[in-house]
Amino acid sequence: MTENAWTRWPSREALGRSGATRPRRMLVWAVRLLLLAVLLWGVFSQRHVGRWEALAAAAAILLAGLVSWTFFRTTYEHRLVPSLALMGVLLGIAVAAEATGFTGPALVIWCGCGVSALERLPLGAAVPVASVALASYSAFTNDVWLTTAATVAGMALAGYVLRLDAEARGSAQRLLAQERAARAAEAESAALAERARIAREIHDVLAHSLSAQLVHLEAARLLIENGADRERILDRVVAARGMARDGLAETRQALSALRGELTPLEDFLAELVSTADGAEVTVTGERRPLPAEASQAVRRVAQEALTNVRKHAQGAKVTVRLDYSEHEVTLNVRDSGSEAGELNGSGGGYGLLGMRERAELLGGSLDAGPDEEGFVVTLKVPV
């Protein structure tokens, strides 16, 4: 046994009542009351003792009970010197009881001191205290030596077993507290991640859309101030209205995503390409539901890629391919008519640059650039 084991206190979880079941606490109190009743009975059952001597002895027993309770408190607070002093008081009460003819209560107090010391004190202090208490018991008991030896060994074993049981209970309490703390931290982390996701959704949907509307409305204001013709002003207002309508639709879609009410990804892509001439969708691999973030990333990139096609390659043939593999999902949008796509298109309020950042946050990647036939956007997201 290491030096640390000799000087280490039982944990406060072990010495306290936290985590003890109700039946266990009731049993402990029943044992304490039974022990007090035995001590008082041992006092008043002495025929050679007068009334006042019996009352004084009963008061000493009650004092021993108070000292024992204080001993439990000081050991719980890991205060060695006060604990040893209180144990000395209990041993002194037992010696006084033996000296005045109250052998039964003295023997009970000695046994209780030996068991409590082994249960609640550091072993370096518990072994000497228990040795003194149990040796005193052995010296004044009337049993034969074999019975005395068995009783002393049983008391010592009982004290150490109670110590091991208390330490096991304390360890279980600490593990439970750590698990609760880990769950609370995990819940807090999940809440923060969800807040960040909501913030990104709001930014993607509103920030770019509103900024584009402001550009068109500011242009309309300048046209009005400069006396431009009605058609030019109306074009700007109509463009701003269209962006507001698109932003509202995207906001509703984002709210649906936050509520977990998204339509299946394949259906979304089919509906998306249905509005574009010469576009088709191909889905390969085993279809399965995706996490909300991954699904949103695929939808946004598909929207932005098709918007860029309409801006830079009007009428070009577009192929949208969605591939489910074991560990990731890949979206490939290829058009045959554009030679210089832009990563900062603002169609629908989203830029592919922002989508690239979103993909990287998910541990994926987004590549966009020209190839031999046109322009290709490729998104890979781990799932």
Domain ranges of the chain: 3-142, 263-383
Report the relative pairing of strands 318-324 and 279-284 from DSSP bridges.
parallel
CA separation for the pair 14, 19 (Å, rounded): 9
pTM of the model: 0.49
> Using one digit for the tens of pLDDT, what is the confidence trace for 339-356?
444 434 444 444 667 778
3-class SS at 122?
coil
Q: What is the pLDDT of residue 4?
A: 75
What is the DSSP code (8-state) at residue 334? E
CA separation for the pair 35, 358 (Å, rounded): 70
Between CA 30 and CA 38, with CA 32 as vertex, the angle to 5 degrees is: 100
Architecture in CATH of 263-383 = 2-Layer Sandwich (3.30)
Distances (CA, A) of 31 to 112, 161, 297: 12, 17, 66
* b/e map 226-261, b = 16+ CB within 10 Å: eeeeeeebeebeebbeebbebbeebbebbeebbeee
CA separation for the pair 62, 68 (Å, rounded): 10
Tokens 């830029």, residue located: 351
User: Which residue(s) pair with 280 in the sheet?
Assistant: 319
pLDDT under 70 in the chain at which residues?
1-3, 18-21, 24-25, 28, 32, 36, 39-40, 42-54, 57, 194, 197, 201-202, 204-205, 207-208, 253-262, 275-278, 314, 337-352
Report the relative pairing of strands 328-335 and 365-370 from DSSP bridges.
unpaired
Q: What is the pLDDT of residue 237?
A: 87
CA separation for the pair 50, 265 (Å, rounded): 95
The backbone torsions φ and ψ at residue 301, rounded to the nearest 5 degrees and listed phi first, read -65, -40
Cα–Cα nearest to 108, from 185, 47, 31: 31
Q: Is the dihedral of CA 67, 69, 75, 79 positive or negative?
A: negative
Distances (CA, A) of 378 to 266, 370, 383: 17, 11, 16
Q: Find out whether 220 and 237 touch, Cβ atoms under 8 Å.
A: yes
CA separation for the pair 324, 316 (Å, rounded): 26
Cα–Cα nearest to 6, from 164, 87, 125, 169: 125
Q: What is the pLDDT of residue 262?
A: 67
Q: What is the pLDDT of residue 271?
A: 79
